[in-house]
Amino acid sequence: MKKKTTAKLKPQSKREKPKEEVVIETLPFHETFPIKLVHKDGKEDKVCYFVCKEHLDKYMTRYKLNKKECQISKTEPKKPEYD
């Protein structure tokens, strides 16, 4: 016959404690990326978002984009969607 073994419990101080949820508040998208750029990339429109004007300028010089061919605007806050 096999011997019955009893499960050994760890002392309460060494037991794993349930992890607490970490809630990180982030800014709304339109506040974080206030600049929107739409331009043609081949046959399709490409949409890009930027944090500041300097990043937009750097992107436009890197890809040699013409301001007349691009649409630059501010991002708008989106209304929350409810089910």
Q: Which residue has the tokens 């990339």?
A: 41
- CA 82 – CA 67 distance, rounded (Å): 38
pLDDT attached to residue 39: 95
Q: Please indicate, yes or no, if residue 2 is contained in any of the structural domains.
A: no
- Whether 25 shows a pLDDT value over 90: the answer reads no
Q: Is 60 within the bounds of a domain? A: yes
User: Domain for residue 82, yes or no?
Assistant: no
What are the start-end ranges of the E strands in the chain? 35-41, 44-50, 71-74
pLDDT top residue among 17 and 68: 68
- Domain limits for position 51: 31-76
Indicate whether 9 belongs to any domain: no
Give me the number of domains the chain comprises: 1
What is the pLDDT confidence band of residue 57, given thresholds at 50, 70 and 90?
A: very high
Q: Over the chain, what is the mean pLDDT?
A: 83
pLDDT at 30: 82
Task: Please list, in sequence order, all residues whose beta carbon lies within 8 angstroms of the beta carbon of residue 45, skipping any fewer than 6 positions away.
Answer: 38, 39
What does the pLDDT read at residue 45? 94
